[in-house]
Chains A and B, each alone.
Chain A
Amino acid sequence: MLSALLPMAESGSTQWLSFDWNALISNLGPATIDGLTFGAIYALVALGYTLVYGVLNLINFAHSEVFIVGAYGVIFTLSALGFNGSPPNLGIGPIILNLLLAMIVGMIASCTTAVAVERLAYKPLRKRNAPRLVFLITAIGVSFVIQYAIFAFHSKNAEPAVTMFTPKPIFDLGGTIIDSQQLTIIIAAVVMMIAVDRFIAKSKTGRGIRAVAQDPATSTLMGVNSERIILATFAIGGLLAGAAALFYVMKVPSGVIYNGGFLLGLQAFAAAVLGGIGNIRGALVGGLVIGVISNYAPFLLGDSNWSQVVVFAVLVLVLVVRPQGLLGQTLGRSKA
């Protein structure tokens, strides 16, 4: 993981910061579309960070493992259904059904993990009024516990890759081909995010989530069961991470490994902060921006190891100018 953050140490080249604009421009279309696809995945995971932060003011570092557990759920289900490294010999209908099933298992796995982490790790701390820092350290600890539980009790290696379907070109956007995989991921993610946005705005649970985020004590006085709301928040974040896990396995078939959530979680967390942590639409915007930027970096700088550096450089620059993130915070209490 460190090597990804220290690209110069590996390449050993002397001209380590030269911009290859031509490479970027000639690949601009595909790099953008693929960036948006990854961005949609980041955005779904970012929502989990943002919702929990909005309600508890807690950065749930274990969310990256909530996500990777979902990815294991997805890949186990697909393997059990007969999927493997080569494209399945199935019609489109059965493929969709199988993928839906895998997604549901992934969502259940992630949701269960998120809810368990909340009940076993965070709730006892809340009962004792633990200081903020204790929650943070616990979150990091839980993240490592889950990673190394997978490492020790399951495997230290990546799961064998699974191919869900062969992407087919769908339409041509001025020379840039958009394929069925990219289209599926972007549309599904955006639809899910709109659904969550509406749910938070309109449903009773959504009103409770916003109320607890803005003023927990007063919410209780109004009859809101804040423990139930907190649990619902973790559950929603988990469901979205599980859905993201299906799309992640679709894009990165060999990426299901015990520490595979780390980097993706970092990107998603960056997306949440970039968009304005606690802000649902911010997570979408932040995810898409991070996805595109991290996809431009390899072309511009000639080495994929630069992606992380560029993502976090942009994050820092944006936060210097707009500390509240691109869209600011709306779920939580800082909105005046």
Chain B
Amino acid sequence: MSLLELNDVSVHYGRIQALHGLTFTVEEGEVVSLIGANGAGKTTTMKTISGLLSPSSGNITFQGEDITKVKPHLRPGLGICQAPEGRGVFPGMTVRENLGMGAFGRKDKAGIDEDYDRVFELFPRLKERENQLGGTMSGGEQQMVAIARALMARPKLLLLDEPSMGLAPQYIRQIFKIIKEINAQGTTILLVEQNANQALSRSHRAFVLETGSITRAGTGRELKADPAIKEAYLGVA
């Protein structure tokens, strides 16, 4: 049984079809990345998994249970938490309050305190800025807040939509290092990235999305070696 399965999932925005019968799986313990051009449907896929969008057909299972109809706010409780594209840091809340929002549905006070320590260890910068308002954090810092906040839900599956967007190269390296660390600690990760080179190097498997359909799949290494991928996504002619 796979941790996450999408079976023939189609999604429409009104009349416009954004996903065309997507089928793929994510196994427990993996880092899987979705790469694709702008408008390919990567964010749409993530929002469908976290429940902000509902499929017009097909179904999604998580740990073997059909979650297609489960309300989005109940999904963090099942173990799915998304750090959204564009970060979605609550601007008027402090860093600590933002992190607390990740644990909104949890009641295990002791576990939550443990997780604050854990994310502060992963992101020491956030510990220093604990009482700063989210809206006044820099872009890179907000990205850290968004990832750390999603971790506070103690998810089994962490959805990261473009965690490296708009970051300087040293930040990007740091973010990918942390993603690896989070995965090593036992969290499965589905990653959307424009930065295909880094994403493919860091993931077990990857899918290429083109206008709402998966056109290629394979291990990160295989896709990195694929000439068509090299040309289209890795900027190598």
**Interface residues in chain A, defined as those with a beta carbon under 8 Å from any beta carbon in chain B:** 204, 207-208, 210-211, 214-215, 217-226, 330-333, 335-336
Contact = CB atoms under 8 A, between A and B. Distances in A.
B90 A336 contact: no
Contacts of B71: 225
A58 to B, nearest CB: 19
B74 interface: yes
B102 to A, nearest CB: 6
Contacts of A210: 90, 92-93
Given A214-B92, A331-B92, 11 more contacts: A207-B97, A207-B104, A208-B104, A211-B90, A215-B88, A217-B52, A219-B101, A222-B76, A222-B105, A222-B153, A223-B74
B100 interface: yes
Interface string B93-111: 1000100111011000000
A210 B90 CA distance: 9
B73 interface: yes
Contact of A223 (B88, B93, B97, B104): B104
Interface in B143-198: 149, 153
Most B Cβ at <10 Å: residue of A207, A214, A226: A214
Nearest to A333: B91
A207 B101 contact: yes
B84 A336 contact: no
B2 to A, nearest CB: 22
Interface residues of B, number: 29
Given A217-B84, A335-B135, A222 B92 contact: no
A221 B50 CA distance: 7
B139 interface: no
A214 B135 CA distance: 11
B82 interface: yes
A330 B97 CA distance: 15
Nearest to A227: B73
Nearest to B77: A223
Contacts of A336: 91, 135-136
A203 to B, nearest CB: 12
Nearest to B76: A223
A154 B29 CA distance: 67
Contacts of A217: 52, 84, 88
Given A220-B72, A220-B73, A223-B74, A211 B101 contact: yes
A234 B230 CA distance: 55
A215 B135 CA distance: 12
Contacts of B77: 223
B84 A221 contact: yes
B92 A335 contact: yes
B67 interface: no
Contacts of A218: 84, 88, 90
B35 interface: no
Most B Cβ at <10 Å: residue of A222, A226, A331, A333: A222
A265 B101 CA distance: 34
Given A220-B72, A220-B73, A221-B76, A214 B84 contact: no
A222 B149 contact: yes
Contacts of B104: 204, 207-208, 211, 222-224
A333 B134 CA distance: 12
B81 interface: yes
Contacts of B82: 221
Contacts of B81: 221-222
A223 B105 CA distance: 6
A214 B93 contact: yes
Contacts of B88: 215, 217-218, 221
Contact of B91 (A207, A225, A226, A335): A335
